[in-house]
Amino acid sequence: MVELLIDKKVPPSKIIINDRVDVAYISNVKGVHLAYHSLPVETVKLKFADLTVGCSVHSLEEAQIAEQQGADYVIFGHVYSTQSKPGLIPKGLEQLSFISELISIPVIAIGGIKPTNSRDVIVAGAQGIAVMSGILEAEDPLEAVQQYRSYLSR
């Protein structure tokens, strides 16, 4: 998959690999994103100091632990209801704001973010958004990206 992205002219400095430290390291990409139950952030940072390391979190406690262990950023969610987390209550903008205020590393929001609510997420304190189904399931993914960009730049 990394080769496909590079063949499509995505710079390695823009690629973050999900949960596979070995692949991120040997591919010489920007970094790795860890699930909360993955390898500890501090271990990855110690052994692979050149990698940017992010971590998924679902609470203030998890965010603080990731920050203390040296994470460069956290992805927090799910902020809104999403089909990928059926039956689970979303965390909401209030908890996103709370966490964003109490840790010093960037918080990226994920979960149910649509172009029309993306700006609210930024106003609540997130420094960015992560979107999967909103783009991957779109009839025209490029148009979907442009819609997100339009709402975020307002």
What distance in Å separates the CA atoms of residue 49 and residue 44, rounded to the nearest whole number? Answer: 8
Q: Residues 52, 54, 60, CA angle at the centre, nearest 5°?
A: 145
Q: Is 37 considered catalytic here?
A: no
Closest by alpha carbon to 59, among 107, 112, 124, 104?
107
Q: Write the DSSP assignment of 41-87 as a string of letters.
A: HHHHHHH-TTSEEEEEESSHHHHHHHHHTT-SEEEEE--S--TTSTT
Residue with tokens 């591919």: 27
- So which residues are the catalytic ones? 78
